[in-house]
A and B are shown apart, each in its own frame.
Chain A
Amino acid sequence: MATADKSGMVESSGRKLWLTHLLMIIGVFFVFFPIWLAFVASTVTQADIVSPPMPVWPGGQMLENYKRALFAGVNVPVTTMLLNSLIMAIGIAAGKIIISLLSAFAIVYFRFPGRNVFFWMIFITLMLPVEVRIVPTYEVVAGFGMLNSYSGLIFPLIASATATFLFRQFYLTIPDELAEAARVDGARPMQFFFDIVLPMSRTNIAALFVILFIYGWNQYLWPLLITTDPEMNTIVMGIKQMFPSGDDTADWPVIMATSILAMIPPVIVVVSMQKLFIRGLMDSEK
């Protein structure tokens, strides 16, 4: 009914509607242009680019450029960096979700000594991004010998408790009677967790996974600090390493192909799971 009303009185006439569409298309064009240009650059030769203005329609070098990026790269093949990014992003998303599911379950469904202290601790971690404590965190990771390792990439980024907070909020909305029914049915706490709570959290887990995957994939500063070995570079930070130092001209087609490759996984995740993504976004910020 609400949408029907909308098309009635308040809706603008056909001509105005066209204007709105036109404005939207212009907006989308501007937002999209950088990506389009990067794609074009990844399909032409270096010569096309260094003699400006560069073309704005794709050329015929696409396969060539991507092959070169994926299997040769500049310092290290992009396939290696993609794999590193994938491991890091999945590690962060899965790690954070698992520890948060468990600790949120404990603080919601149990009264144990230190519960309030613990709750305040996770509350504090919400406030401080990794950027603020990079030097000491780097020293800790170095002290554990975790430089240039996946665990070094992953653990410091799952230390904040945002997800715990979210799952706590969600658990609080599960009716008390379900836990009581499960108790009467004979479920022990962990049975209740695995049989009832976990399946009921599926959508939330998926939504959060999308958000955390992108968060992990797009990390820059932290991998920059702790992966000195090109073999461990992630793709997002590795691109900067592809620029030559000094006055040499950058290998633009390969760099742009790498940029496109770096954005494909998160874009696929966001666009194909749009509903979950938007839900996760709204949840995680409230």
Chain B
Amino acid sequence: MEKRVTFKGWLLPLCLVLPQLLVSAVFFFYPAIQAVWQSLFIPDPFGLTSQFVGLENFQYLLSDKYYLASFFTTATFSILVTLVSMVPALFLAVMADRLLKGAATYRTLLIWPYAVAPAIAGVLWLFMFNTRVGIVSWYLGKLGYDWNHVLNGPEAMGLVVVASSWGRISYNFLFFFAALQAVPKSVIEAAAIDGARFWKRFFTIVLPLLSPTTFFLLVVNVVYSFFETFGVIHTITSGGPQQTTTILVYKVYSDGFVGQDLGSSAAQSVILLFLVGLLTILQFKYFEKRVHY
């Protein structure tokens, strides 16, 4: 799409884009290119010189069992976060949509967790499941279950998944609710006349109509679980125990800043970059398609 009206001149527009150009160049493009460049080198142990090694960093990574494990961890984590954040959100949205009165109040209450930073969410959930003082872990103990996410990998994973999904429920709820409100009531009524009961209507009519929103949320939640959950993992498990909750972004951080392995960290960044690119293309391809309807 283009404007019919344009103003003349080139100096003014260049001045207008200059701030953005400078900020992106210095803090975005230069670092991004630098990441690609660094991924081709290995620095010596003292960090004084570095040696060009080509794709060796990548070869090493792809044969490193910790890195491959981290891939697997990330996949598990993403799928779980997406499910745990979307299913309850959809359920709540369907409930809220049935209500004429009070839906707005519930919405206001349900928005809250979105405003809570992932790192704070991590602290809240850590507090509830803390092995010494946590109220939930205490009651679990009373029931005979010995909760210990500090030592037990699956429990740690469960905890970071729940903590990461919690705030996302609000987000997904808002989108599902808006989409449900946009479903034409005449369609629902037609189905009702045809004799379909509520859940039957939901699965045969409403859910298919929601599929654009659902797909959109799938992609967005996967991207979220890849990147924005860093705070949750850092506050609750720091990637442990035994790296069972070390997702890719966390590994970039821990290898780069804690382990000071810049070449490997950069190569990991490049791989991540590639993954995000794929997800983005997927998203755009999809939206392009939808435009044609």
Contact = CB atoms under 8 A, between A and B. Distances in A.
A and B touch in the complex (CB under 8 A): yes
Interface of A: 2-3, 5-7, 9-12, 17, 20-21, 23-24, 27-28, 31-32, 34-35, 37-38, 41, 49-50, 52-54, 56, 98-100, 102-103, 105-115, 118, 121-122, 125-129, 131-141, 155-156, 158-161, 164, 171-172, 176, 179-180, 183, 189-190, 192, 214, 217-221, 224-225, 236-237, 239-240, 249, 252, 255-256, 259, 262-263, 266-267, 269-271, 274, 277-278, 281-282, 285
Nearest to A190: B12
B286 interface: no
A256 B289 CA distance: 47
Contact of A34 (B16, B125, B256): B125
Interface residues on chain B, size class = 35 or more
What does DSSP make chain B's interface, helix, strand, loop or mixed? helix
Contact of B28 (A12, A115, A125, A179): A125
B253 interface: yes
A89 B266 CA distance: 28
Given A32-B109, A127-B280, A270-B112, 14 more contacts: A2-B185, A9-B189, A17-B98, A24-B99, A34-B121, A34-B166, A52-B132, A52-B135, A52-B138, A102-B17, A139-B31, A159-B24, A176-B3, A255-B127
B112 A32 contact: yes
Interface in B94-132: 95-96, 98-100, 102, 106-121, 123-125, 127-128, 132
B92 A27 contact: yes
Contacts of B159: none
Interface centre among A106, A160, A249 (most CB of B within 10 A): A106
A199 B106 CA distance: 33
Interface of B: 1, 3-7, 9-10, 12-14, 16-17, 19-21, 23-24, 26-32, 34-35, 38, 88, 91-92, 95-96, 98-100, 102, 106-121, 123-125, 127-128, 132-135, 138-139, 166, 169-171, 174-175, 178, 185, 188-189, 192-193, 198, 216, 220, 227-228, 230-231, 234-235, 249, 252-253, 256-257, 262, 265-266, 269, 272-273, 276-277, 280
Contact of B135 (A21, A53, A138, A255): A53
A238 to B, nearest CB: 10
Contact of A122 (B6, B20, B128, B134): B20
B17 A12 contact: no
Contacts of B113: 31, 35
Given A37-B127, A38-B127, A103-B17, A131 B252 contact: yes
Nearest to B32: A133
A17 B124 CA distance: 33
B35 A35 contact: no
B31 A137 contact: yes
A278 B178 contact: yes
A266 B121 CA distance: 13
Given A24-B92, A31-B169, A103-B20, A172 B220 contact: no
Given A28-B109, A156-B27, A285 B220 contact: yes
Contact of A23 (B30, B95, B262): B95
A38 B95 contact: no
A141 B31 CA distance: 10
Given A12-B198, A24-B92, A263-B116, A236 B31 contact: no
A28 B93 CA distance: 12
A224 B44 CA distance: 26
Given A136-B34, A136-B266, A180-B5, A263 B120 contact: yes
A280 B252 CA distance: 31
15 contacts: A5-B185, A11-B100, A12-B198, A37-B124, A106-B16, A109-B5, A109-B13, A131-B249, A140-B27, A179-B3, A218-B231, A237-B119, A239-B235, A259-B120, A282-B178
A100 B125 CA distance: 37
B135 A159 contact: no
Contact of A50 (B133, B175, B262): B133
A100 B108 CA distance: 30
Contacts of B265: 135
A136 B88 CA distance: 39
Given A103-B17, A136-B34, A270-B115, A24 B188 contact: no
A109 B24 contact: no
A44 to B, nearest CB: 11
A125 B7 CA distance: 27
| 8 nearest A-B pairs in the assembled complex, by CB-CB distance | A218-B117, A220-B231, A136-B34, A136-B31, A110-B13, A266-B115, A106-B16, A106-B13
Contacts of B169: 31
